[in-house]
Amino acid sequence: MRKRKRKRKVKKPSAPKGLTPGIRMKGGIRFDPAVNGFVAIVHTWDNVHCRGEPEEWRSLEVFSKEEAAMQYYKTSIRPSLERMMAEMAKGHADGTFIHRKLEE
């Protein structure tokens, strides 16, 4: 009798609380003087050309060092952001979807 290995389901990162998908989304980190630390942010537009003021989402986590905030963004926020943008692209019948990763 052969034993079969079960494939483990890869847990998809859940969307950060309060972050809603948009037509265009850009993320990163920013120093917030009000909390004296770095926070992860995501800007969301309702149009392809990023016209107008974006809706800004901010993480609740605050980091004293820029590197720690960027690591948090890359591991916790970016995967969810990429998944949401891919899901938004599926909904566009005309196929106009561009995803660029600006830094590593």
Q: Is residue 85 part of a domain?
A: yes
Q: What are phi and psi of 73, to 5 degrees?
A: -60, -45
Supply the mean pLDDT for the chain.
81
Q: Is residue 8 part of a domain?
A: no
Name which residue leads in pLDDT, 80 or 5.
80
The total domain count for the chain is 1
Q: For residue range 1-41, what is the model confidence (pLDDT) as tens digits?
A: 666 666 665 555 556 777 878 888 899 999 999 999 999 99
Q: Is residue 104 part of a domain?
A: no
Per the rule left: phi > 0, alpha: psi between -120 and 50, beta: everything else, 8 is beta
Residue-number span of the structural domain to which 52 is assigned: 24-90
pTM of the model: 0.70
- pLDDT band, residue 55 (cuts 50/70/90): very high
Q: Is residue 86 part of a domain?
A: yes
Q: Is residue 61 part of a domain?
A: yes
